[in-house]
Amino acid sequence: MAESKGLADYKRLLADRPEKLTGPEAAYQSQSQNKTDYFCRDCKHFFQGPVAGYNVCEVVRLQPEKSIESHAKCKFWTRTGERFPLLNSKD
């Protein structure tokens, strides 16, 4: 049976899906380790997915894939997408 156009479009969309950084690559720190007031929930890259039941990030994908904590942070934290105050930070 031939693949439908819709299914082919879907597979092409997933094939073009950009890879994300792992937690360690982005210096992801869980809420228990985040001692600053830079929280994922305030970052441009953070999205709450109430239908899916978990939070996602445009930059980080945790392994195994799980929800991004709203009180966590990573070095790519930004409100604007232009200024990254934690990018050179070691904490």
Asked, for residue 5, whether it belongs to a domain, the answer is no
12 in a domain, yes or no? Answer: no
Distances, alpha carbon 18 to alpha carbons 31, 44, 58, 62, in Å:
26, 17, 9, 15
Q: What pTM does this model have?
A: 0.77
Domain with 33, as residue range(s), is 19-82
Question: Within a domain: residue 58?
Answer: yes
pLDDT value of residue 50: 75
What pLDDT is attached to residue 59? 95
Answer yes or no: is 43 within a domain.
yes
C-alpha closest to that of 71 among 39, 35, 37, 24: 39
- 88 assigned to some structural domain: no
In a domain, residue 37? The reply is yes
The predicted pLDDT at position 89 comes to 66
Would you say residue 89 lies in a domain? no
CATH number of the domain that residue 39 is part of: 4.10.490
Measured CA to CA in angstroms, residue 45 lies from 7, 11, 39, 55, 85 at distances of 28, 24, 11, 11, 14
**pLDDT mean values, one per 10 residues, the chain (91 residues):** 82 82 96 94 92 87 89 97 87 52
Classify residue 26: in a domain, yes or no.
yes
What is the domain count for the chain?
1
pLDDT at 16: 76
